[in-house]
Amino acid sequence: MRRRLLPGALGAVLLLAALVAWLNVRGEAPLDAGATPPATPAVVERGAYLARAGNCAGCHSVPGGAPFAGGRRIETPFGSVVSSNLTPDPATGLGAWSAGEFWRALHHGRSRDGHLLYPAFPYPSFTRVSREDSDALYAFLKTVPPAARANEAHELRFPYSTQAALAVWRALFFRAGELEPDARQGASWNRGRYLVQGLGHCSACHAGRNALGGPAFDAEFAGGLMPDAG
């Protein structure tokens, strides 16, 4: 009844907001409360290798700072975004995170409390990382020395600073999903694609971007300007 009284425009805005909200959680399985996967030396070593492939330390460390403690400010056309503390410090890092919450950050771009993360964190690529590899990264990050460094606030201009704007961006440009191996190609081709389109996030820098900072799909791998580095 109330709905009918609303002016049409407001109704349309509400419908659109509901659609955007739905597009942001579509396909998301409930967080698993499953046991922490085994962190054998081999798994930790694999996680260390995967962290190098994904350049986690490159964005999550500052010169002279503790490795993986975050604090690197990434300039974008919309303002700057600061990387987070990934060390196992319980208060300021990932110490209290479960493997499922870590996976959700990589796969769905959500933080532990559920808020949406900015795609300066290349989860539009990392979403293709397998759960097994995510668990290995998680196991490795548990072994780095904890560093107490509180996350700093981003400095983004309005409206880009809002979760609503980020939700719209994600509805337009982000799809969570893993890579199915292409059966027509061999194992090394599939491995290469997994690295390039997943952890390597090559297209984060080697592709053009549209005015909203979304990927320009026709220009994937054609190169582009990194706003961060000029």
Between 18 and 210, CB nearer to ligand HEC: 210
Between 11 and 189, CB nearer to ligand HEC: 189
Angle value at C-alpha 110, between 93 and 222, nearest 5 degrees: 105
Rounded least distance, CB 86 to ligand HEC, Å: 5
Which of 121, 160, 169, 194 touches ligand HEC (CB under 6 A)?
A: 121
R_g over Cα of the chain:
19
* Distance of alpha carbon 173 from alpha carbon 154, whole angstroms: 21
Between 6 and 28, CB nearer to ligand HEC: 28
Which of 122, 124, 146, 198 touches ligand HEC (CB under 6 A)?
A: 122
Residues 43 and 139 sit within 8 Å (Cβ to Cβ): yes
- Quick check: 198 binds ligand HEC (CB under 6 A)? no
The 10 Å CB-count burial string (b at 16+, else e) for 177-207 is eeeeeeeeeeeeebeebbbbbbbbbbbbebb
Rounded least distance, CB 27 to ligand HEC, Å: 19
Sign, Cα dihedral of 115, 121, 123, 126: negative
The torsion region of residue 17 among left (phi > 0), alpha (psi -120 to 50) and beta comes to alpha
Which of 89, 200, 209, 215 touches ligand HEC (CB under 6 A)?
A: 200
- Quick check: 56 binds ligand HEC (CB under 6 A)? yes
Rounded least distance, CB 97 to ligand HEC, Å: 7
Q: Please report, as ranges, the residues that interact with ligand HEC according to CB under 6 A.
A: 51, 54-56, 58-60, 74, 81, 83-84, 86, 102, 105, 111, 117-118, 120-122, 137, 196, 199-202, 204-206, 226
